[in-house]
Amino acid sequence: MLESSIKLKKKHRSEHVENSFISELINHTALFIGNGNINHFGFIGLNLPPDKENHYEICKPGDYTNLKRKHFDTICCHFLEIESGSWSYNGIGKLERDISDLDISCDTLVIDFLGEGFYMDLILGSIIDKHIYKNWNPSKIKILTPFYDCSKLKKLYPQIEFFEPPHELMGPLLFCSPQNHTIHNWEDSRLTFDIIMGMEWNPNEKIKLFEWLNGGERDFRDITIHRLVEENMIELGHVSYLHGREGGDIEQYPNLKTRKIKLSWEKDAEDNRFSIQSKIARETYVGVISESSIGYLEFDTEKCMKPFYNLQFPIILGYDGIVDKLRKLGFDMFDDIIDHSYDKSHDGGHWDDIKYDVAFFKVNKIIIELKKLNDINIHQLYLKQKDRLIKNQELVYNYTVNNNRVLEEIAEFVFGKNIKCNRKTNNFNKIWLK
């Protein structure tokens, strides 16, 4: 196995890492609808080879005209298209026809919530009620969901078959897999399959205490920036809020001190915000993560893995119990250094209906911890934790690469015995970022 260190660059390579996994349909026809469909290389990456007879992809309206058949054994469609009955991918030509008007049919319809499923329970009902797919006449409906526990939804919709995620870390297994560009798309050109291990250990003193990066707007992220501004802590860390709302957008708190914050080098923030930002990582001791939700649904993304990739002390702002789950899975949460009592605060509710005092509680608790760390010799403390930090980084690799079978699980759920999966190699070139 090759090992090396690099400075972060966008990749141009002859052998793409997503090609380490390919699959083939057996006596089965399929149609994939949506720009982020499960066959799309670099995301889910079932990575079926080009085949104009057995499977097709519709990623934009004009693609419909290329179909040579109208009936498919399976149609896989992202929920955004199903929910609206139209195309979620903006800016591509004229809308030639709505999704619901496509002259197609199928035996099995698979609705894909992977990657965006943290509010699935709020909109699945409207999808079923609208019955947008009725013209397609499916005899069976399946739901791809990242949730570990779908027992409540199963009772509400007994006619639907729900995906049973193979692991509690379903989100990271998906987003951090070798076939996913979220983490592994920003290396130098190499002839071998490259895997990002994370940051290389660096004993040099760092210029900032923490990183706290925020992308899409959320009420709890509005509150986060508001409190950091109030406490004059923005300059203590690398802080951003790419889609921040001036003054926030919370009716109960009309004058929040929140705003859009973009770090000076974030020129292409939308393109690389999901990957490992090596500049930020090498300059900070603590990785504060704002997950997609602080609600009760256990929706994890690649974000909760970032502090481990980055060799940072982890603080995870997410649903209640996310820190405890990571701890039980073997990750060192540095409980002797950080008080994670912010991890438990409420008794549940919908992800977007959490009381605002819960957000204030969690953020305030985290700020207390950051102040505490700022008052000690954090650098000397950090140097003493080298072995523990590296062990966390290696554990991410073991989960997301060595023992990751999530693609096979997805393929089997969608196509049963009508798909053959082939992992071409487990011999990856390990890359550490400087």
Instruction: Give residue-wise pLDDT tens across range 255-288.
Output: 899 999 988 877 665 556 678 889 999 999 999 9
Residue at token pair 């660096």: 202
What proportion of the chain, given as a percentage, has pLDDT over 70? 82
Residue at 172 is within a domain: no
Range with the poorest average pLDDT among 42-56, 139-153, 391-405:
42-56
410 with 389, same domain: the answer is: no
Structure confidence at residue 54 as a pLDDT band (50, 70, 90): confident
Residues 333 and 414 in one domain: no
Nearest to 195 by CA among 345, 4, 357, 14: 4
Decide: residue 52, CB within 10 A, 0-12 exposed, 13-18 middle, 19+ buried. exposed
Mean model confidence pLDDT for the chain: 83
Q: Can you give the pLDDT at residue 41?
A: 64
**pLDDT (0 to 100) of residue 270:** 55
* Together in a domain, 233 and 150: no
- Residues 392 and 418 placed together within one structural domain of the fold: no
Give the DSSP H or E segment for 140: strand 140-144
Whether residues 238 and 122 share a domain: the answer is no
- In terms of Cα–Cα distance, which of 61, 57, 317 is closest to 210? 317
Question: Is residue 210 domain-shared with residue 114, that is, in the same domain?
Answer: no
Is the residue at 183 inside a domain? no
Query: Average pLDDT in the 236-254 region?
Result: 89
- Mean predicted confidence (pLDDT) in 70-81: 86
Better-scored residue on pLDDT, 44 or 22: 22
Q: What is the pLDDT of residue 331?
A: 98
- Span 215-232, pLDDT tens digits: 888 889 999 999 999 999
Looking at the predicted structure, is the pLDDT value of residue 116 above 90? no
The model's confidence at residue 28, banded by pLDDT at 50, 70 and 90, is: very high
Q: Is residue 180 part of a domain?
A: no
Number of residues in the chain? 434
pLDDT band, residue 96 (cuts 50/70/90): very low
Whether 223 and 368 share a structural domain: yes
Same domain, 246 and 329: yes
Is 123 part of any domain?
yes
In whole angstroms, what is the distance from residue 3 CA to residue 324 CA? 32
Same domain as 232, residue 106: no
In the predicted structure, residue 349 carries a pLDDT above the cut 60: no
Establish if 178 belongs to a structural domain: no
Range with the poorest average pLDDT among 44-48, 170-174, 191-195, 383-387: 191-195
Q: Give the domain extent around 366.
A: 197-396
Average pLDDT on 63-91 reads: 74
- Residue type at 371? K
Number of domains forming the structure of the chain: 2
Among 81-85, 201-205, 329-333, whose mean pLDDT is lowest?
81-85
- Per-residue model confidence (pLDDT) at position 6: 53
> Does 105 lie in the same domain as 41?
yes
Considering the domain boundaries, does residue 186 fall inside one?
no
83 and 43 housed in the same domain? yes
Q: Which two tokens stand for residue 218?
A: 């959320």
- Res 332: pLDDT: 98
Q: Are both 145 and 216 inside the same structural domain?
A: no
The answer as to whether 241 is a domain residue is: yes
How confident is the model at residue 190, as a pLDDT?
Answer: 44
pLDDT confidence band for 185 (50 / 70 / 90): low
Question: By three-state DSSP, how is residue 387 classified?
Answer: helix
The answer to whether residue 177 sits within a structural domain is no
Residue 226 belongs to a domain with what CATH number?
A: 3.40.50
